[in-house]
Chain A
Amino acid sequence: MSAPVSSTATEALREDTPVEKPPRGTPWWANQRVGLLLLVVLLSALFGVLRPAFFNQQLVVFPLLRDIAMFTVVGLAQLCVLSIGHMNLAVGRMAAFSMMITGISYDLWHFTLYSGLLVGLVAGTAIGALAGWVIARTGVNSFVVTLALDFLLLGMIPLVYTSLTENAAFVTKPPGMRELRNFSLADVCIGNVCGSPAVPQLAIFAVIAMAVVGWIYARTRLGRELLMTGSSVRAAELSGIPTARRVIIAHAMSGCLAALAGFMLAVSTGSIKATIGEEFMLPSFLGPILGGTLLAGGFVSIWGTLLGTALTTVIRKGLDLLGVGLESLNIYLGLILLAALSTDRIRTLLSDRQAVASSSPPPPPKAAGSQEGER
């Protein structure tokens, strides 16, 4: 690495002032993900004590994990656009659109299960890229563009279904679909060792999605550039990042993951119909945001998305088992989420206070910096 900085310049630039202290590393108990994990474990234990049926592998744990897997993928779909500070309000409808294409491929073209999935993923990527292209091209807020796209698809999808099917659902089920729905890791054996019957095979899709998305954000140029774009579009543009292309790619990734989530839902409900993805939108935000992904862009957490999704899904399932009715279930869910988010805030404040107390000389370097900038 040959740099044109000579030692004289380096000498002049060296400062004898003490190192500017970064905010101290937050203690482990203030880590958002640790907090989430504890909450999930505690609540599961609580539900298990109140209703031992909560730990029934076949009737409760299996569908619970299947739901967590699916909503994690939904969360990841939102996370991709959140990383650049955008939103995708059409995340559910993109899933519906992709599954419509998949359904057509099964019904009319007699595709196999996985080639149908592939077609769906391509369709999802395409519709996401279209949204991204419109946003990058027009400069209109992603909120508005995806909202408009949502309405467009809301009108278009049922039209296609009514013209192609009789009961607004594709009836052709490619071979392997039913197995994929019911099989667990118990059906996967290496020699004599088989997996747990509580873990659905469908969860593998979520694991793959997490691994790929995680790798992109942690290890690749693309992921870093997405985060930089989310942090500051202007700085990114002026650092030579092709921001318009990054916007399109983020939305395309979102569309692709929405399609995957749609596929997982179609498999677990056993039918491809127009209403797929209707319940995706709110959970798509809940998972990432509970997990620490910033709404404003620039920071994502894949594990956090899994844990945030697990928390909401466990609460739902637990309350359901306790016999709480649907309406009051939402009230409780809201209350618990509010509590989860506030304890998070309280933890941050506590750790900040501790950090301030332990760094004894009071003048905070941050204040000095900001004042300097104002002048």
Chain B
Amino acid sequence: MTLFEASEIVKVFPGVRALDGVTLTLEAGSVHALLGENGAGKSTLIKVITGLYRPDGGRLLMDGREMSFGSPHESAAAGIGVVHQERNLIPGFTVGENILLQKLPTSRGLVDRAAIRSEAARWLAELELDIDPDQPVTELSVAQAQLVEIAKALSVESRVLLLDEPTASITPNEAALLFRVVEKLKDDGRAILFVSHKLEEVFQICDTVTVLRDGASVLSGGALADLTRDEVVDLMVGRVHEALSLPERAVDTAVPPILELRGVGTASGHADVDLSVRPGEIVGLYGLVGAGRSELAKALLGLDRITAGEVRVRGEAVKIRTVRDALRNHKIGYVTENRKEEGVFLEQPITRNIAVTIWDRLRKVLGYVPAKVETAMVTSYVEQLGIRIASPSQLAGTLSGGNQQKISLAKWLAAQTEILIIDEPTVGIDVRTKDAFHTLIWDLAANGLAILLITSDLPEMITLADRVVVMRDHRIRGELPNNHDYDQMSQQVIRLIHAEGTTAA
């Protein structure tokens, strides 16, 4: 029996068709997998279903009746519960209060604690969980918190449950507990949508599957029993990417690496990381969200402790303490993935956003920074990177994502770094600008920069990297020379990522 259906959903953002006629059908008593690469449109689809985004086309049907959700409240009222990828429990509250947050039982205007306890206990019992409703949520393990979130999603009497990457941050043992709960909910006749990157899990607990690619559903509601793992991978990556024509660029392998990691371990859990980058080389560090790639970059910059192994820059073992140290003494720059919070100063003028790395060099007596030199330097980069601005004193926050990203990159070029770590450079950037960025990164390498490119965008990786290093669970899982053949490379990389037997944390 079809409980919920999203039919021919279209969602357009300026410059991008994020969803282009996606159809998804959820049956009662069945677990449905939603698969797709990063950026394929999974999150956007979930946001449409839960009323965070209004679709620009298509229909949402619940029990065959057409619905229109203006807010997450309305979708919850219609019986759709969702557990988001990010944790949404409120730290100061108890388990019970969190579960019933959307409609706290009250008596005479006051919160009714006894009712909370019994009501919450009922939902916890339904999931066969041994958790005390009076326990503060801060005392829960990550997996327990995840299960409490499911109880919370159920407490609105939901019949459709969306789980967005519920196992992203829990161990396999904890995941097993979660799957038991999912099985139970399925037997109770609920419809469940399961979003995950881990194919083993999908084959383990899901019945049917929808695969998204480039905002369209390339497979809608296929039975997983009829599919092999390779067929699913093919569906996910099988896109024909319009190859960007980039000029020839050869890496001189006789040149020793400028940056080299030998058996590096960090406080955030990396172990035995070996990695090297030569001048003029682009090394791609590929992995899924949470694999520990950005954390490794931050450890290199001294923002996290390196506990084992050694980092060598230009052949010498170094200990980098701060970003300033990395920049000044080793000429290493880091373009962050978190553009809005770490990359640009939204409320500061463009000039300062780019000049921030060079004041140190420009300053004269008493720390005086000559405005003329500063402006000339900034203007030169604004022109070279084609940043569209009205004036250099314009605030960075008024620019588009693409132009903000150019600014975030420009400050490291201005600082004349020789080693550049670029983290997810094209997230949330439209296709055209994306190609321009690829040309730029290619070009920087051709001019001798050593680039460590962190990305979970497979086409991007295969277009740019000379070598692909695959990371999972804070460890290097393999290294591949890149032949820029998309089909062949994507198969190999995805296989490395999903290789069985490497799940253990």
B413 touches A4 (CB 8 A): yes
Interface hits, A23-81 → B, CB 8 Å: 23
Give the residues from 327 to 385 in chain B that come closer than 8 angstroms, CB to CB, to chain A.
Answer: 327-328, 334, 336, 339-348, 352, 355-357, 359-360, 362-363, 366-369, 371, 376-377, 380-381, 383-385
- Tell yes or no: A231 within 8 A of B by CB: yes
B43-61 near A? 1/0 per residue, CB < 8 Å: 1100000000000000000
| B448 CB-CB contact with A under 8 Å | yes
Q: Is the CB of A1 within 8 A of B376?
A: yes
A231 touches B406 (CB 8 A): no
Please measure, in the bound complex, the distance between the C-alpha atom of A20 and the C-alpha atom of B407, giving whole angstroms. 15
A198 at the interface (CB under 8 A from B): no
Is A14 in the interface zone, CB < 8 Å from B? yes
Residue of B nearest to A14 (CB): B386
Asked whether B352 lies within 8 Å of A224 as measured between CB atoms, the reply is yes
How distant is the Cα of A364 from the Cα of B212 in the complex, in angstroms?
A: 31
Q: Please give me the residue from chain B that is nearest to A372 by CB atom.
A: B401
B436 part of interface (Cβ distance < 8 Å): yes
**For the complex, what is the distance from the CA of A375 to the CA of B401, rounded to whole Å?**
11
Taking the complex as formed, is A353 at the interface, i.e. its CB lies under 8 A from any CB of chain B? no
Decide if A238 touches B439 in the complex (CB within 8 Å). no
New contact pairs (5) apart from A19-B388, A375-B428, CB-CB < 8 Å: A10-B386, A13-B385, A240-B322, A240-B356, A240-B360
Cα separation A78 to B411 with both chains bound (whole Å): 31
Bound Cα distance from A2 to B411, whole angstroms: 14
A13-B440, A221-B360 in contact; A23/B377 too (CB < 8 A)? no
Q: Once bound together, how far apart are the Cα atoms of A12 and B380, in whole Å?
A: 16
Q: List 11 A-B contacts (CB under 8 A).
A: A4-B447, A12-B435, A13-B406, A13-B437, A13-B440, A19-B389, A22-B395, A234-B341, A237-B322, A242-B322, A298-B345
Q: Provide the bound-state CA to CA distance between A369 and B401, in Å.
A: 6
A170 CB contacts on chain B under 8 angstroms: none
Using CB atoms, name the residue of chain A closest to B14.
A368
Q: State in angstroms the CA–CA spacing of A374 and B447 once bound together.
A: 34
- A299 near B367: Cβ-Cβ < 8 Å: no
Q: Are A4 and B13 closer than 8 Å at their CB atoms?
A: no
Q: A228 and B406: CB pair below 8 A?
A: no
Distance between A351 CB and nearest chain B CB, rounded to angstroms: 16
B403, B414, B428: the one contacting A20 at CB < 8 Å is B403
Say which size band chain A's interface belongs to.
Answer: 35 or more
A373 to B399, CA, bound (A): 12
Cβ of A360 under 8 Å from chain B: no
Which of B14, B362, B389, B443 is in CB contact (< 8 Å) with A371?
B14
B253 CB-CB contact with A under 8 Å = no
Closest to B298 in A: A238
Query: What chain A residues lie within 8 Å of B362 (beta carbons)?
Result: 221
CA distance A1 to B375 in the complex (A): 12
User: Knowing A19-B389, A241-B356 touch, does A6 contact B428 (C-beta < 8 A)?
Assistant: no
In the complex where A5-B384, A13-B385, A22-B390 touch, is A240 in contact with B357 (Cβ < 8 A)? yes
Q: Are B428 and A373 in contact (CB under 8 A)?
A: yes
Taking CB atoms, residues of chain A closer than 8 Å to B342 are: 232, 234-235, 238
Given A8-B247, A231-B347, A298-B347, does the pair A20, B390 have CB atoms closer than 8 Å?
A: yes
B3 at the interface (CB under 8 A from A): no
User: Cβ of B171 < 8 Å from any Cβ of A?
Assistant: no
Option from A222, A228, A369 in Cβ contact (under 8 Å) with B367: A222
1/0 per residue A211-243: CB within 8 Å of B? 000001001111011011001101111111110
Cβ of B135 within 8 Å of any chain A Cβ, yes or no, is: no
Q: Mark A290-304, 1 if CB is under 8 A from B, else 0.
A: 000000001100000
- Cβ–Cβ < 8 Å partners of B369 in chain A: 219-221, 224
How far does the alpha carbon of A232 sit from the alpha carbon of B394 in the complex, in Å?
A: 17
Tell me the complex Cα distance, A354–B14, Å: 25
CA distance A85 to B404 in the complex (A): 23
Q: Decide if B150 is an interface residue (CB 8 Å cutoff).
A: no
**How far does the alpha carbon of A371 sit from the alpha carbon of B416 in the complex, in Å?**
33
Closest to B418 in A: A4
B359 near A15 (CB under 8 angstroms)? no
Q: Roughly how many angstroms separate A13 CA and B438 CA in the complex, as a whole number? A: 10
Knowing A21-B390, A369-B400, say if A6 contacts B446 (CB, 8 Å). Answer: yes
Q: Judging by beta carbons under 8 Å apart, are A228 and B368 in contact?
A: no
Q: A3-B381, A375-B43 are in contact. Are A9 and B439 (CB under 8 A)?
A: yes
**Which of B263-293 touch A at CB < 8 Å?**
none
Q: Are A4 and B403 in contact (CB under 8 A)?
A: no
Max chain A CB contacts within 10 Å: which of B247, B327, B436, B446?
A: B436
Compute how far the CA of A8 lies from the CA of B344 in the bound complex, rounded to whole angstroms: 26
Q: In the complex, what's the smallest C-beta–C-beta distance from A203 to chain B, in angstroms?
A: 25
Cα–Cα distance between A227 and B348 once the two chains are bound (Å): 9
Nearest-neighbour CB distance to chain A for B343, whole angstroms, equals 7
Q: Please, how many angstroms separate the alpha-carbon atoms of A228 and B356 in the complex?
A: 8
Residue of A whose beta carbon sits closest to that of B341: A234
Task: With both chains docked as a complex, state the minimum distance between the C-beta of A200 and any C-beta of chain B, in angstroms.
Answer: 29
A126 CB to closest chain B CB (Å) equals: 21
> Is the beta-carbon distance between A239 and B411 smaller than 8 angstroms?
yes
Shortest distance between the CB of B30 and any CB in chain A (Å): 29
Is there an interface contact between B444 and A5, defined as CB atoms closer than 8 Å?
A: yes
The complex places the Cα of A220 from the Cα of B356 at a distance, in Å, of 12
The yes or no answer to B170 lying at the interface (CB within 8 A) is no
In this assembly, does B18 line the interface, its C-beta being within 8 Å of a C-beta of chain A?
yes
Which among A221, A240, A298 has the highest number of chain B CB atoms within 10 Å? A240
| Nearest Cβ on chain A to B429's Cβ, whole angstroms | 8
Inside 8 A of B430's CB, which chain A residues have their CB? 372
Residues in chain A near residue B262, CB distance under 8 A? none
The reply to whether A13 and B386 contact each other, CB–CB distance below 8 Å, is yes
B400 and A239 contact, CB distance less than 8 A: no
Residues of B within 8 A of A298 (CB): 345, 347-348
Q: How far is the CA of A8 from the CA of B439 in the complex (A)?
A: 8
The chain A residue sitting closest to B432, CB to CB, is: A15
How far apart are A223's CB and chain B's nearest CB, in angstroms?
8
Cα(A372)–Cα(B394), bound, Å: 20
B376 proximity list for chain A (CB < 8 A): 1
Docked complex Cα distance between A366 and B366 (Å): 38
Q: What distance in Å separates the Cβ of A163 from its nearest Cβ neighbour in chain B?
A: 41
Q: Is the CB of B344 within 8 A of A19?
A: no
| Chain B residue with Cβ nearest A299 | B347
> Looking across the interface, which residue of chain A has its beta carbon closest to that of B438?
A12
Per CB-CB distance, the 4 closest pairs between chain A and chain B, nearest first, are A13-B386, A4-B447, A220-B367, A14-B386
Give the nearest-CB partner of B18 in chain A.
Answer: A375
Report chain A residues within 8 Å CB of B328.
240
Q: Does A365 contact B (CB under 8 A)?
A: yes
CB–CB B367/A221 < 8 A: yes
Q: What residue in chain A is nearest B11 (Cβ atoms)?
A: A375
Distance between Cα atoms of A8 and B368 in the complex (Å) = 36
A167 proximal to B (CB < 8 A): no
Is B2 interfacial (CB-CB < 8 Å)? Answer: no
How far in angstroms is the closest Cβ of chain A from B399? 6
Whole-angstrom distance between the Cβ of A310 and the nearest chain B Cβ: 27
Task: Check A219–B368 contact: CB distance below 8 A.
Answer: yes
B175 within 8 A of A: no
Shortest beta-carbon distance, A85 to chain B, in Å?
Answer: 11
- Among residues of A, the one whose C-beta sits closest to the C-beta of B415 is A240
Q: Are A22 and B13 in contact (CB under 8 A)?
A: no
Chain B: minimal CB distance from A298 (Å)? 5
Q: Is B84 positioned at the interface, with any CB of A under 8 Å from its CB?
A: no
Distance in Å from the Cβ of A365 to the closest Cβ of chain B? Answer: 7
Contact of A9 among B341, B367, B390, B443 (CB under 8 A): B443
Residue in A232, A242, A363 whose Cβ sees the most chain B Cβ within 10 Å: A232
List of A residues within 8 angstroms of B435 by Cβ: 12
Expressed in whole angstroms, the Cα–Cα distance for A1 and B328 within the complex equals 17
Known A15-B388, A237-B323: A372·B347 in contact at CB below 8 Å: no
A17 at the interface (CB under 8 A from B): yes
Partner of A224, one of B303, B359, B377, B397: B359
Residues of A within 8 A of B388 (CB): 15, 17-20
A240 touching B323, Cβ below 8 Å: yes
Chain A residues positioned under 8 Å from B449 (CB to CB): 4
